[in-house]
Amino acid sequence: MLRIVFHSPEIPGNTGNTIRLAAVAGARLHLVEPLGFSLDDSKLRRAGLDYHDLTVLTVHPSLAAAWESLEPERVFAFTSDGEVTYTDIQYRASDILLFGPESMGLDEDVKNDPHVSARVRVPMLESRRSLNLANTASIALYEAWRQHGFNGAVLSKHQGEQR
């Protein structure tokens, strides 16, 4: 099961949207403190709608604690200065998709963490600074899930087919 890790997220709406994303795509969401909001924040709850109970959400006090808990084999750090694009990776179900805080992205210490397998980017037009955090997580997660045949997904609303 793919895992999304937000390191020090700052905007509750982005995390709320990603709670919903994780629920509908069967991913697990991990948050690394410090958080820029309370988990009781109304904007986080509103963005996550009624998906909070359908999402596996874990909060870790530090990145070191997250690594100890997650025991990662491969970590893909999403950053605007990544050397590989998100579509060039053959994702495994156990992979971790790592994202940094909205205001600055992942700092150099995190990008150079020995657990990081590769720095990954989502292409953008020149002179654009960054994509929204929840949107970037969505793009990456859906590519990884697509590569796994959308395992478990309802493919046709009319037919109720699942993979």
pLDDT confidence band for 161 (50 / 70 / 90) = low
pLDDT on residue 47: 64
Q: Any idea which residue has 């087919």 for tokens?
A: 161
In the predicted structure, residue 44 carries a pLDDT above the cut 90: no
What does pLDDT average to over the chain? 91
Give pLDDT tens digits for 48-67.
667 777 888 999 999 999 99
**Residues sharing a CB contact under 8 Å with residue 88, sequence separation 6 or more, in sequence order:** none
* Residue 154 CA: distances (Å) to CA of 61, 84, 162: 35, 31, 4
To the nearest whole percent, how much of the chain has pLDDT over 90? 75
pLDDT of residue 125: 94
The C-alpha atoms of residue 69 and residue 133 are separated, in whole angstroms, by: 23
Burial group, residue 127, by CB count within 10 angstroms (0-12, 13-18, 19+) = exposed
Domains defined for the chain, CATH in brackets: 3-162 (3.40.1280.10)
pLDDT in tens, 2-35: 999 999 999 999 999 999 999 999 999 999 999 9
Q: Are 131 and 14 in contact (CB under 8 A)?
A: no
**Token couple for 65:** 């604690």
The pair of structure tokens assigned to 103 is 């205001």
DSSP secondary structure, 63-117, as one string? HHHHHHHH--S-EEEE-TT-SEEGGG----TT-EEEE--TTT-S-HHHHT-TTEE
Residue 70 backbone zone (phi > 0: left; psi -120 to 50: alpha; other: beta): alpha
pLDDT of residue 159 exceeding 70: no
pLDDT number for residue 163: 60
Which amino acid, residue 159?
A: Q
CA dist 30 and 66 (Å) reads: 8
What was the pLDDT predicted at 43? Answer: 74
Give per-residue pLDDT as tens, 70-102: 999 999 999 999 999 999 999 999 999 999 999
pTM of the predicted protein model: 0.92
Is residue 41 very low, low, confident or very high in pLDDT (cuts 50, 70, 90)?
Answer: confident
Q: What is the pLDDT of residue 162?
A: 62
CB atoms within 10 A of CB 4: 24
